[in-house]
Amino acid sequence: MCGDVRNDCTSPHSLIVSEAERVLLCCVMKKDIYLDYRPDDSHPYAYVYPRPSVTADCILFAQNGEGVWHVLLIRRGGEPFRGFWAFPGGFLEAGHEDTEQCARRELTEETGLQAGSLSLVGVYSRPERDPRCHIVTASYCGIVPMQAARGLDDAADARWFPLDAIPPLAFDHADMLQAARAKLEAGELK
């Protein structure tokens, strides 16, 4: 999740169920979350430098029967921004996928949909963009046929919204939408 966590990362909340919860708690408490990871024979190029986490988001556009462009959003089921609308996305499975694969996996996990061609919208890396810790995200966009979506996994809901009726978005997703719309309007998406 948020980099490597010191083995001695403790809190008043001693009954943490999982390692992921311990990592998240340390991130939220803004403790020193970076492990002094020393090189050894199996990891000769390890570094002590802090590492942000990596996520990916997927922005999908579709036209309804009247030719009105819509964008797919999910309602966040968990914190931060519980109940806010956002793009399908989530944490990269480090060592197993690249950011585009992550965006595709998260799209399917959270909505049941799959995307064809995707285009990189941008990389968003402001340290304060996520209240949990420093998280860098790569966002991708594409066009798909209008189809039913449902909220799965940690998404409480999934819906298509007309581009002229977008609800308030979580994180910096409004910035991502603006950049993705520019690509759509410029005819850069397939």
Is residue 1 domain-shared with residue 45, that is, in the same domain? yes
- Are 135 and 1 a contacting pair, CB within 8 Å? no
pTM for the full predicted model = 0.78
Domain boundaries, position 96: 53-185
Is residue 65 domain-shared with residue 33, that is, in the same domain? no
pLDDT at 47: 67
Is residue 67 domain-shared with residue 106, that is, in the same domain? yes
Is residue 42 domain-shared with residue 75, that is, in the same domain? no
pLDDT at 39: 62
pLDDT at 158: 98
Q: How many CB atoms lie within 10 A of CB 25?
A: 19
Is residue 36 domain-shared with residue 61, that is, in the same domain? no
The verdict on residue 190 lying in a domain is: no
pLDDT at 24: 47
pLDDT at 82: 96
Residues of the chain short of pLDDT 70, as ranges, are 1-40, 43-48
Characterise 159 by phi-psi region: left (phi > 0), alpha (psi -120 to 50), beta (else).
beta
Q: Which of 181, 162, 58 is nearest to 110 (CA)?
A: 58
Is residue 68 domain-shared with residue 38, that is, in the same domain? no
Total of domains in the chain: 2
Residue-wise pLDDT for 73-122, tens only, equals 999 999 999 999 999 999 999 999 999 999 999 999 999 999 999 999 99
Is residue 125 domain-shared with residue 60, that is, in the same domain? yes
